[in-house]
Amino acid sequence: MQMSAREEGQSALLGPSRRVLIIGTLISFLLMIIGLSYAVVVGTRDESVDIPGLLNSLLSLKPGGIVGLGIVVMLLTPVLNVLALGVIFARLRDRWFTLVALLVLVIMAANALLSGR
Amino acid sequence: MDNATLLILAATGFAGGTFGAMLGLGGGVLIVPLLTGILGIPIHQAIGASLVGVVATSSAGAGVYLKSRLVNVRLGLLLEPVLALGGITGGLIAALLSGQVLSALFALALIFTAYNMYKTGQVQDERLHGEIDEHVQTAHAGRVYDALSGEITDKATGRTTAYRVRGVPIGLGASFVAGNMAGLLGIGGGIIKVPVMHLLMGLPLKASVATSNFAMGVTASAAAFVYLSEGLVNPFLVAPVVIGVVVGAQVGSRIAERVQSSALGRVFVVVLLFMAAQMVSKAVGISG
């Protein structure tokens, strides 16, 4: 059975989107496991909950910093997925959905910048 | 936080991830009541943890759903800007509300959804979605709707169903509400998105669950950044929950592919009512 143009377009999106989500989740997962294992071994839990605190912990290679980096990677994974979809839509010359992807990225960037202030 | 607590948190995430991926909820409806009810964690922190768990459920579950071709990627992306704005707004409002108010809102959302899904279960899938509805297209909306059309093959029945998406403006409006609920309550917003996609937009139930799951990652991520900036994301609370959620989402997604849609709906209703009772007791001060 031949694939319709619509189905072919859908196929072009599924593979890269799936790869971004799986790789992002795996990296995040590994960072959190490493950070948690490190915390169990050394027995310290630097429970920083703000962004500067997490950054300091990461630069000092403390367990909380590594776990925090894993959390940030997890939060960025869907955003990177939207970026990947935007690139694919641009290659497919689908201007409407390229703009939608761009709009999502602008909203997320503005939110991250305003949250960080 | 001792090692036993870390294990309990991971088990909570596993339960939330399994049911969340099965039902397109993101796991928040289980994680928040369990964290607040059993472990006594303040609801704002529980919501922050849940939101990261929702992102994890979405990403891990979407990997499976994308492989099964159940996700309508274009529709998911189209709803994401509104979902993200709703999520950010909800997160900002949540920071202003007390724990009891949040618990009461949580209970209301669950009861409303349980009622909607009970009604959904009474309607036969074949009658609603067996054929493409040719009567809802307009000249202006036709281009967009055609781009959103799709078809899925249900592994449980082996039947391929073609569908055409309708009601996009309603879907966008509902997405803002869903995003708002996600940011406010730490849930994926699937309790709004799934019934709206299924009943009003013309998607088969499994495509609705998969597409909702796919789109909720951005929603929860937007809201989680608000919680992170408010200092409500504790790494050692979040990480074990998320690890449990990732494993549970893999299990739940695989179960969902092989379960009849009607059975999925019945599980949905029971789980929601149970959690609603828990949150009512918290809101009126009987527990936690």
* Residue to substitute from B54, B55, B148, interface A, most A β-carbons within 10 A: B55
Closest CA to B151 of B136, B127, B130, B174: B130
Amino acid at A6: R
A36, A77, A108 member nearest B222 (Cβ): A108
**pLDDT tens-digit map of B156-169:** 777 788 888 888 88
Cα distance from B260 to chain A (closest Cα, Å)? 24
CA atoms within 13 A on the CB side of B98: 7
Q: Does the pLDDT value for residue B147 go beyond 90?
A: no
Collect contacts of A108-114 with beta carbons under 8 A, ≥24 apart.
Answer: A108/A79, A108/A82, A108/B84, A108/B218, A108/B221, A108/B222, A111/B84, A111/B88, A111/B222, A111/B225, A111/B226, A112/B225
Two tokens at A69? Answer: 């980096």
Give the three-state DSSP class for A105.
helix
Greater confidence (A57 vs B142) lies with A57
- Asked if B205 and B24 count as a contact pair (C-beta separation under 8 A), the reply is no
Report in angstroms the alpha-carbon separations of B115 from B104, B195, B200.
17, 11, 16
Could you tell me the end-to-end alpha-carbon distance of chain B, in angstroms, rounded to an integer? 19
The pLDDT, as a whole number, for residue A7 is: 61
For position B127, what pLDDT does the model report? Answer: 40
Residue B264: pLDDT over 90: no
Residue B261 scores a pLDDT above 70? no
Q: Does A83 touch chain B (CB under 8 A)?
A: no
Instruction: Provide the pLDDT confidence category of residue B59 given band limits of 50, 70 and 90.
Output: confident
Model confidence band, residue B129 (pLDDT cutoffs 50, 70, 90): very low
Q: Give the predicted TM-score (pTM) of the model.
A: 0.83
Which pLDDT score, from 0 to 100, does residue A108 have?
93
Sequence-distant (6+) residues with CB within 8 A of B280 are: B103, B104, B107
Task: Pick from A36-50, B217-231, B257-271 the range whose average pLDDT is largest.
Answer: B217-231
Q: How far apart are CA B96 and CA B81, in angstroms?
A: 24
Reply yes or no on whether the pLDDT at B38 is more than 90. no
Q: Given CA atoms B225, B227, B233, B239 in this order, what sign does their dihedral have?
A: negative
Per the listing, tokens 């709906």 go with B265
Which chain B residues touch A99 with a CB distance below 8 Å?
A: none
User: With an 8 Å Cβ cutoff, are A54 and B235 in contact?
Assistant: yes
Q: Extract the tokens encoding B134.
A: 């040719």
Cβ separation of B239 and A32 shorter than 8 Å? yes
**What is the model's pLDDT at position A16?**
85
The counts of H helices and E strands in chain A are 4, 0
Q: Specify which of B72-81, B165-174, B202-211 reaches the highest per-range mean pLDDT.
A: B72-81
Looking at the complex, report in whole angstroms how far the Cα of residue A32 sits from the nearest Cα belonging to chain B.
6
Going by pLDDT thresholds of 50, 70 and 90, the confidence category of residue B143 is very low
When pLDDT is averaged across residues B107-134 and rounded to a whole number, the result is 60
Instruction: In whole angstroms, give the CA distance from residue B174 to residue B156.
Output: 29
Does B134 score more than 60 pLDDT? no
Going from N- to C-terminal start, the domains of chain B cover 3-283
- Chains A and B: how many Cβ contacts under 8 Å? 159
* Mean pLDDT of all residues belonging to chain B: 79
| Pick among A4, A25, A57, A93 to test the B interface (most B CBs inside 10 A) | A25
Question: What is the complex's ipTM, to 2 decimals?
Answer: 0.88
Q: Do B59 and A21 touch (CB under 8 A)?
A: yes
- Check A107 against B85: CB less than 8 A apart: yes
Q: Which of B107, B88, B110 is nearest to B99 (CA)?
A: B107
Q: Strands B150-153 and B160-163: what pairing?
A: antiparallel
Within 8 A by CB and 6+ apart from B214, the residues are B58, B62, B65, B66, B71, B73, B76
Instruction: Output the tens digit of pLDDT for each of chain A's 117 residues.
Output: 455 555 666 677 778 888 999 999 999 999 999 999 998 888 776 666 677 777 888 888 888 889 999 999 999 999 999 999 999 999 988 999 999 999 999 999 998 888 766
Contact partners, residue B59, CB within 8 Å, separation at least 6: A21, A22, A24, A25, A74, A77, A78, A81, B217
Q: What is the structure's pLDDT at A1?
A: 46
- Mean pLDDT, to the nearest integer, of B224-228? 90
> Residue B283, Cβ neighbours under 10 Å: how many?
20
Residue B208, pLDDT above cutoff 70 = yes
> Residue B286's pLDDT band (boundaries 50, 70, 90)?
low
| Nearest alpha-carbon partner for B250 in B1, B10, B22 | B22
Between CA B204 and CA B211, with CA B83 as vertex, the angle to 5 degrees is 25
